[in-house]
Structure 1
């Protein structure tokens, strides 16, 4: 299994929005694009999809931008990926015309793998990503005497 560029960029943008959530700040597209090195035109499309999916809200005006629609601890990674990729990305594809035993066994194992992946994505939230990023940043700090 592999994460698409589309999903990765969306999660990176959502990570930035989650970081600003507690301060009540919004982020503009330009800011998110610069922080995460995402092409602006592509980010615009992703944010529109996330807005339609109820993950984020847009704020108009001079201090406008985007904010999360709800707390980062309530938005799972599965919610985000479902919004971006659609239900097809998280549901295993079943080949009904595969009637032999070998194909059925392979499909059963593949379904188990997809269910396990979805369970992991359901357990982790945007808040978890923020905390992990902070932990990684602290590990990367070097102290000089």
Structure 2
């Protein structure tokens, strides 16, 4: 399983929104883009997709921007990946008539891997990512005496 650039940028943007969730204040695209080094136009498209998927809301006006549509501990990574990339139900579409025993075994294993990776994506939420990021930041703080 590979993390697409689109998904990575979306996760970075969503982490910014998690950081502002408790304040209730929306973040503007240019703020998120500048902080995470994401091209404005690309981020605009990603946030529009996430909005259509029900993961973020937009607010218009001078103090407008984007906010999470629900609590960060309720939004799973699976929700995000599904919104951006869709959720294929099978790993491969090999014609059953042309399947050999070997190809069936290989496909069964890849399907199991796919299912387990989706299970892991369902286990982690945006809040989990935010907490892990904050923990790593704390570990990276060095004190010099």
TM over 0.5: yes
Moved >6 Å (runs of 4+)? none
Q: Distance in 2 between matches of 1:55 and 1:79?
A: 8
CA contact (8 A) 1:58 1:64 kept: yes
TM-score for the superposition, normalised by structure 2: 0.95
Q: Which runs of 5+ in 1 are unaligned?
A: none
2:92 is aligned to 93
2:52 corresponds in structure 1 to 52
Shift of 1:144: 2.2
CA offset at residue 72 of structure 1?
A: 0.1
- Aligned residues between the structures: 144
Query: Residues 47-82 of structure 1, C-alpha deviation per residue, up to 9 Å, x if partnerless?
Result: 010000000000011110000000000000000000
Q: Aligned-pair RMSD on alpha carbons? A: 1.2
Aligned to 1:81: 81
Whole-angstrom distance in 2 between the partners of 1:91 and 1:35: 37
Q: Is the 8 A contact 1:94 1:107 kept in 2?
A: no
Normalising by structure 1, report the TM-score: 0.95
1:138 — aligned with what? 138
The structure in which a higher percent of residues are helix is 1
